[in-house]
Structure 1
């Protein structure tokens, strides 16, 4: 059997150049590549996929001298669809994305309606008692920025401990 007959038409590979001698290894590599190409644009629930409806925006959490700063990228989400909540030392960020698109063309006789919906929820356990009255949130150009300051009563009161040798 001619090994080159196993290579898909128009697809030069190492096998065609004679570098690969095992046709099953070459076939396995080709099948892996086909499945990777086929599923490349699929997103699992929990990854951001644009119009597919699944949301998991990128979120950065940074601890500052004053408290915690959270930045979340929420492209395509309206400010009214964002919900922030603080309860029992946990900050909850919820967002909902809704998009609907409709196209018609009587001359070309087609009608297209696309809808996508997605929700996102992320919870952040705060490592300190927050000053709930001073939490601020701003939303600009698809980026949400939340600043959670520490409560003045929760400021760490450290004590120097001396270590004695035996």
Structure 2
């Protein structure tokens, strides 16, 4: 048997696995099983989240949207199913921390299948030191937490608009 016979893909234009009659190639089956094993074991070990966020399985939960203008930074976090009393918002040294707990509604674990996340979470966002920490405000409506972080006078004064030369 040559090494070429061990490769499950043909050398033609298509990249489909080659089959021997009605039986599937045993090496292709082994390849798929090993891939599935690694997918299940390492699920969630992805690239690090943006803005220094940390959450279960590096999945950056809760998901956030960050808007910035000359006067403020606004962070909107999706926290469905969590009451506002279950969320803690902290600002310290230019770092915004969102922390809380999504509690399980039922205790019958034997008869339940769930893809929802239950448990404690913490998301940290590095925003810089240009935030006026005394004027930070947070609102909650329909599962969305909106945190408004006003910029300091110094940060607002340092904004410079550069005009783009369109003549070239």
With the shorter chain as reference, the TM-score category is 0.5 to 0.7
Q: Is the 8 A contact 2:88 2:100 kept in 1?
A: yes
Q: Is the 8 A contact 1:15 1:26 kept in 2?
A: no
Alpha-carbon separation, structure 1, partners of 2:124 and 2:56: 14
Q: How big is the alpha-carbon RMSD for the aligned residues of Structure 1 and Structure 2?
A: 3.7
- Identify the range of structure 1 (116-125 vs 91-100) with the bigger mean alpha-carbon deviation: 116-125
1:64 aligns with 2:69: yes
In the TM superposition, 1:1-166 aligns within 5 A as: 15=19, 23-32=25-34, 34-35=36-37, 39=40, 46-47=56-57, 56-101=61-106, 117-157=118-158
CA separation of 1:113/1:17 partners in 2, compared to 1, >3 Å: closer, same or farther? closer
Give per-residue Cα distances to partners, 1:19-68, cap 9 Å, x unaligned.
x8xx343222331465478x39x76772499xxxxx82212223222221
Bigger radius of gyration, 1 or 2? Answer: 1
Q: Aligned residues, how many?
A: 129
5+ residue gaps, structure 2, are 1-16, 46-54, 161-168
Q: Is the 8 A contact 2:95 2:128 kept in 1?
A: no
Which one has a larger percent strand, Structure 1 or Structure 2? 1
TM-score by length of 2: 0.58
